[in-house]
Structure 1
Amino acid sequence: MHPVLRDAWTTVVPDRQDRHGPLPPLMVALTVVTGLVDAFSYLVLGHVFVANMTGNVVFSGFALAGAAGFSLAASLAALLSFVAGALLGGRIAHRARAHRGWVLHLALLVETTLVVAAYAVAEAAGDPYGDVVRYVLIVLLGIGMGVQNAAARALAVPDLTTTVLTLTLTGMASDSRAAGGGGGRTGRRALSALAMFGGALAGAAVVLHVSAALPLLLAGVLLAGATAASYVLTRSDAGWTEPV
């Protein structure tokens, strides 16, 4: 098997002796969730992200400069909600830091609840959403993605941050054999990018052709599955459960 494909395969089906145990495939699933949720927020809630905070900082600058289609209030709401979620996720991570399975499970319980609640609000309100519903959705999803990002940071699975691809793509290029590097983890990095791309593609497709709220339902289903899987992981005492 080609090294890149083998690297991708071992990310989805990790070896039992892997330092990160069964965490990598769950992080890939959360990366898909990011694509779904950001597709919804950008296409339905206006030019705002709930997971990509770099974009919101840039959008805030656009709005202040008077560019059409950008809302400073929406960008700031997303930023503040994400920070609040990251604070909550950090508290979860620090309280459960002795067992990485518990860190993931508790974070997913919170995130799943918030995303499912956002779906319920979106479905009940019906598209197009008024300003109040729009900001409720931004806050719910921003907090949820902040929790996810904080948990991913605490788990520290290499190249699977679930929300940020800039460093992942940089590493894939700068560590490649073409750049004089060893080409390590290229498959994992490419898989991470494809997971977010796939989530964004699916999210955009259902928003444009099926239902505005459907990406949130899909994200909720993925998160529910990941939450159930992570509960099983809390019973493990293998080496991967120890903090990095």
Structure 2
Amino acid sequence: MSDRLPVTGRWAVPGLLLLTFATGLVDAFCYLQLGRAFVGNMTGNVLLLGFSVAPGSGLSVAGPLVAIAAFVTGSLLGGRIGRAGADTGAGRRWPGATFAGEAVVFTALAALLGSGLLGTRGVPRYVLIAVLAVCLGTQTAVVRIMGARDLTTTVITQALAGFAAGSAVGQGTGASQLRKAASVLTMLAGAIAGALLLRVTTAGVVGLAAALTTVAAGCFLLGPPPRTRNEKEATGAAARP
């Protein structure tokens, strides 16, 4: 894991995996309920745009386009948040605060969906796609700034490739390989859970994503900071006879 993580790996890894599971939930909701669009997986949206040119495909162009534009907007916002956190001396808690804000948005959307004030057809559909894509774009940018290469929370292609390549040539450490595998399996589990839960409740899927994101934010807000290199060296020296 990166030295730029705001908390120790024991807190960061569970937090990032919770965000990954939440991404699987939200993408399942958007793809299955909002007309074939992803809000976390932009590769999927680009492919959907390409597939839509086939006559009779029935695929929407508007949904993926809205998702891509909103995701880019969220990524720009995440970059600004990261720079502001560094410039203002916000310490190591700004990622957790960002994830907490994301959880608040998810909670609000779940409440609106559950109350019937927000639907999944017409204009509200695109509102949902846009808001969720902004959230996941921001999340992706923040995780990238933290340098969590093994657990990106929204992109598993690189994790899967890194796992396979590391295994084949023996260059990946056991810990990094385990994290990459966990990232893929967690995303899969989130997508499965979302697809099954949608048979019972729509708002509940977004609500569960909100709850998991809240816990993830807590991991980054409450977790202890990682040890510095000097502290690690001092600990190693004390352990040697």
Same fold (TM over 0.5): yes
Question: Is 1:57 matched up with 2:10?
Answer: no
Instruction: Tell me the distance in 1 between the aligned counterparts of 2:101 and 2:8.
Output: 26
1:139 alignment partner, one of 130, 137, 142: 130
Alignment-derived partner of residue 29 in structure 1: 18
Report SS of the residue matched to 2:120: coil
Alignment-derived partner of residue 219 in structure 2: 229
Instruction: Tell me the distance in 2 between the aligned counterparts of 1:75 and 1:236.
Output: 39
Letter in 1 for 2:125: R
Determine if contact 1:64/1:72 at 8 Å carries over to the other structure: no
Q: Deviations over 1:179-237 (max 9, x none)?
A: 232342221111111111111111111012x112211010011112222332224x748
1:38 alignment partner, one of 27, 34, 41: 27
Cα 1:22–1:228 shift into 2, 3 Å:
closer
Q: Structure 1 residue 34: deviation in Å?
A: 0.7
TM-score (norm 1): 0.81
Question: Is 1:70 matched up with 2:52?
Answer: no
Identity level (%): 38
Alignment-derived partner of residue 196 in structure 2: 205
Cα 1:75–1:66 shift into 2, 3 Å:
farther
Report SS of the residue matched to 2:114: helix
Alignment-derived partner of residue 237 in structure 2: none
2:143 alignment partner, one of 123, 137, 152: 152
Report SS of the residue matched to 1:229: helix
Q: Deviations over 1:99-124 (max 9, x none)?
A: 67323112213211221222123223
Instruction: Tell me the distance in 1 between the aligned counterparts of 2:55 and 2:91.
Output: 45
Cα 1:67–1:142 shift into 2, 3 Å:
farther
Structure 1 spans left out of the alignment, 5+ residues? 1-10, 12-17
TM-score (norm 2): 0.82
Instruction: Tell me the distance in 2 between the aligned counterparts of 1:115 and 1:126.
Output: 15
Number of residue equivalences: 220
Cα 1:99–1:67 shift into 2, 3 Å:
farther
Cα 1:171–1:229 shift into 2, 3 Å:
closer
- The one of the two structures with greater contact order (alpha-carbon pairs below 8 A, sep at least 6) is 2
Report SS of the residue matched to 1:164: coil
Cα 1:100–1:148 shift into 2, 3 Å:
farther
Q: Kindly report structure 1 stretches of 4+ aligned residues shifted beyond 4 Å.
A: 18-21, 235-238
Aligned-pair Cα RMSD in Å = 2.4
Instruction: Tell me the distance in 1 between the aligned counterparts of 2:140 and 2:108.
Output: 19
Q: Structure 1 residue 166: deviation in Å?
A: 0.7
1:218 alignment partner, one of 208, 211, 216: 208
Determine if contact 2:34/2:121 at 8 Å carries over to the other structure: no
Instruction: Tell me the distance in 1 between the aligned counterparts of 2:214 and 2:112.
Output: 18
Report SS of the residue matched to 1:22: helix
Instruction: Tell me the distance in 2 between the aligned counterparts of 1:136 and 1:169.
Output: 32
Instruction: Tell me the distance in 2 between the aligned counterparts of 1:144 and 1:40.
Output: 15
Determine if contact 2:11/2:219 at 8 Å carries over to the other structure: no
Question: Is 1:170 matched up with 2:170?
Answer: no
Instruction: Tell me the distance in 2 between the aligned counterparts of 1:140 and 1:115.
Output: 9
Instruction: Tell me the distance in 2 between the aligned counterparts of 1:63 and 1:239.
Output: 51
Structure 2 spans left out of the alignment, 5+ residues? 2-6, 230-241
